[in-house]
Amino acid sequence: MKPFLTLLLESYRGLKSETIFWVTVGLSLLVAVLFLSIGFDENEISFFFGATNIEFDFSGRGGRLVQEIGYIMIFTNLIAGGWLTFIAIILALISCASIFPDAMKEGSAGMLMTKAPSRLQVFLAKLTGSLFFVFIQVGLFVVIVFVAFRWRLGVWNFSVFWYVPAVLLVFLNLYSFMVLLGVLTRSVMTSIMLTMLLWGISAGVDWAITYHESAYQLSQYVDAPTGEIVPEEEVEFRMPEMEKVEGDPQILSQIGTLKIVHSFFPKNSPIMESAEKKLVLDGMAGMLASDGGDVSQKLEDEGELDDAMGKLTANDSTFYSIGTSCIFAFVMLSIAGWLFCRKDL
């Protein structure tokens, strides 16, 4: 146990000695505090703890609830969508990219891998160290966001903490691939570049599936008299004259193929989306409960809300995404670990 802890401590010291580590932590805190600094009241949104503000009349547009939804939207779109899913993960990947190639350099291997800990222990310690770094970084960030929600919306929204495992899983997916490349090529640059490529491809496949799915939905509606597919922008106006038919089988088979391809890739956006769903739904439920006002009466019985939440969160695709992503990471890490234990250094 002691050698393993020593390795962990050493990984952490190594990270700490890199500038990129502090840049990442600093930026992360900055973004969290920026979010914390956004406030609003009846007729304005303020930024930087009230240093600047924009007039915005909420009273005519649904009042408090709209403000609150707006606040959550800022979080999901900008903070979670932009920062957490994208920049924070890129920074974390770059910070951790050199860990494995460095450990395998002749000079450091002579120190690390000729002693009591087995190579597998060294591998696991380095991996744990990287994950721990991301955990700390995201954890800290989310705690600040959690406080922000309480301060601005008046609810303790524990669902934000779902972002911690979600970001960790997304990171692990990409990182597992990066570790494999690092062990194979021992080149930091190559592993960063190819990992970004994997990310791009998996995002591309994701997007292609969404695109084809909406195309398929459109193909299900035809103009009743002529049997032609109704163009997207006209669907809304021509509802009465349309009829629902079997969609285009060709698109369906394309979706099938894409989904098979997709199953081999890490599923980053589906994972982040499931965290988002949890957050939004719990956030709404919390606000409605604390509101006690007009809106919550519309959803008189709690059951209705629960049903809606259940449908959104417990759907198969979440488990499918998480499951296949875990398998992806496991396979990548197994190969990487096996190579790491066998390679000549």
Please say which residue, 108 or 217, places its beta carbon nearer to another protein: 108
The Cα 8–Cα 117 span in angstroms is 12
Please say which residue, 143 or 345, places its beta carbon nearer to another protein: 345
Q: What is the DSSP letter of 231?
A: P
Under the binding rule (CB under 8 A), the answer on residue 23 touching another protein is: no
Under the binding rule (CB under 8 A), the answer on residue 314 touching another protein is: no
C-beta separation of 162 from 117 below 8 A = no
Minimum distance from residue 13 beta carbon to another protein (Å): 7
Minimum distance from residue 21 beta carbon to another protein (Å): 11
Tell me, by CB under 8 A, how many residues bind another protein.
Answer: 29
- Residue ranges in 105-124 that form contacts with another protein under rule CB under 8 A: 105-119
C-beta separation of 95 from 188 below 8 A = no
Region near another protein per CB under 8 A, out of 70-78, 99-107, 200-208, 244-252: 99-107
Under the binding rule (CB under 8 A), the answer on residue 19 touching another protein is: no
| Type and span of the H or E element at 40 | strand 39-41
Under the binding rule (CB under 8 A), the answer on residue 90 touching another protein is: no
Under the binding rule (CB under 8 A), the answer on residue 289 touching another protein is: no
C-beta separation of 321 from 270 below 8 A = yes
Region near another protein per CB under 8 A, out of 13-21, 86-94, 143-151, 211-219: 13-21
Backbone angles phi, psi at 244, to 5 degrees: -90, 130
In the chain, the amino acid numbered 53 is N
The Cα 17–Cα 207 span in angstroms is 38
Distances (CA, A) of 217 to 210, 244, 245: 11, 10, 10
Instruction: Provide the binding-site residues for another protein, judged by CB under 8 A.
Output: 2-3, 5-7, 9-10, 13-14, 16-17, 105-119, 342, 344-345
